[in-house]
Amino acid sequence: MNSDKAKKGLERMPNRSLLYGTGIHSDHMRRPFIGIASSFTDIIPGHINMRTLERYIERGVENGNGTPFIFGVPGICDGIAMGHHGMKYSLPSRELIADTIETVASAHSLDGLILLTNCDKITPGMIMGALRINIPTIVVTAGPMLAGHSGKKRLSLVRDTFEAVGKFKAGQLKEEERKKLEISACPSCGSCQGLYTANTMACLTETMGLSLPYCGTAPAVLNEKIRIAYESGQRIMKLVKQKITAKKIVTKRSLENAIRLDMALGGSTNTVLHLMAIAAEAGVNLTLTDFDKISQKTPHISNLRPGGESFIEDLHFAGGIPAVLKRLATKINSTRTVSGKTTLKIAEEATIFDHDIIRPLNKPYHKKGGIAILKGNLAPQGAVVKQSAVDADMLTFTGCAKIFNSEEEAMKAITGKKIKKGDVVVIRYEGPSGGPGMREMLSPTSSIVGMGLHKHVALITDGRFSGGTRGPCIGHISPEAASGGLIGYLINGDKITIDIPKRKINVDLTTKQIKERKKKIKLLASKVKTGYLYRYSRSTSSASTGAVYKDNQ
């Protein structure tokens, strides 16, 4: 056992004494040591149910003849951090979380890991850390929130709070209704109700093979989630015995499955960053080209919020991820999973209960996948858009640039009704290095939708978007402004053309004009000079490679 390094032999007498100091029995000393990395916190609704899940994971590990140890992992709620300085810490926290998993598991010579996670970048961060140390690992995502209700109307956080801000500003919402939405949109524990980043990553983690079947979609409040937690504790012991490590699960073929499912569901654009970062830790070469190739050949067969009207709970009751895999059976790779079954076996055993929530391949919502990769003189290294959440008549758009050097500047202009039909809102210096931290732009994009401008206005940024963003919003513009990207040299009035079907994004400037701009315009200096964000800004790579630490490449 790996843990023998810390507990076996005469020289480890002091080590054992300290372990006995935790209250464990001599029987526990002979068993494999299993770390339960818990991101429990009282401030994230998606994580407040984790104390119960910890207990049942512990029970499963004990039942499987293992010794469980819980340790803490930090977490940030993107929704609470949204729209202000706090969001700068969201993506960088992924690297902190990966470092925490690596550090604690390595320092204590753990034999296996259960990763108890849920929201956004916490899930990929934990997986990245587990891949570094490459020991047997199972991920338990704590589950999505139930839909809110206002009478018979179902509510979700993004549609009914973030977009409601714009509606209220436009005079389409009364104060009494606004207050009711605010208190009713998030009725339970769990991650936000649509196919936003947290739930997308939970679904992709299950598809990769790191979670047990149905874990990715089972609502947080269901006892089914508790049983999955218990079974995960049991199952990790079999993985330890069989020496099935994280890198034996996360391979190029399993990552391709995750991308294909992402395209079929129309998931968050953040998954591009996260899957590329996970691939880097797994030693797998994954590029933006892989995403676009798979998108071109994968129909969009499930239309959840923000693009559609269904919720993640609807997907679960329609058959969950196994049912989606069943639809995609002719397109997915047969890969190993922590359940002991292959992806194709899981697909074979699944039942599809709702043929509109999970449509047949020949009756898709869209013929191509949810995400598109655009390139052009504005983004020679690539840019990302959630095309499944863009209205058909906005898939191609030409407009005049309105330049903003921060999210706050843009938000002030949008809510101040200074954005007009035909504008392309350009938000720059919000990339991984320039932000720093690559903030999500949910507040401005939601306000544009709420004010009814999403059919007349586009938005581009070197930052990123929440999984809740909809409309012609192009993110991850690479290279970013702070790294000398052309987006840093744009001026008000520049003519920008977005052509999603042709995968193009260009500004109408000649090579000579661009050279002249670069001579005259001085890029802005770094926004921070101290602390973790400064260190992150100096170390992070381009969004086109996953915004990972450069020393990981």
What is the 3 state secondary structure string of 354-374? Answer: CCCCCCCCCCCCECCCCEEEE
Hey, which residues does 399 pair with through a beta bridge?
A: 496
| Bond prior to 306 in cis (omega within 30° of 0) | yes
Residue 334 known to be catalytic = no
| Token pair belonging to 295 | 């998108």
Q: What is the dihedral of CA 446, 450, 453, 457, to 10 degrees?
A: 0
Which residues have a Cβ under 8 Å from the Cβ of 412 and sit 6 or more positions away?
Answer: none
Whether residue 330 contacts residue 184, with contact meaning beta carbons closer than 8 Å, is answered with: no
Which residue intervals of 243-371 are DSSP H helices? 246-249, 252-265, 270-282, 288-296, 312-317, 320-327, 343-349
Cβ-based neighbour number of residue 32 at 10 Å? 23
DSSP state at residue 388: G
In the chain, DSSP finds a helix count (H) and a strand count (E) of 23, 14
Catalytic-labelled residue, pool 339, 433, 466, 542: 466
By the 10 Å C-beta count (0-12 exposed, 13-18 middle, 19+ buried), 18 is classed as exposed
Residues designated as active site: 466
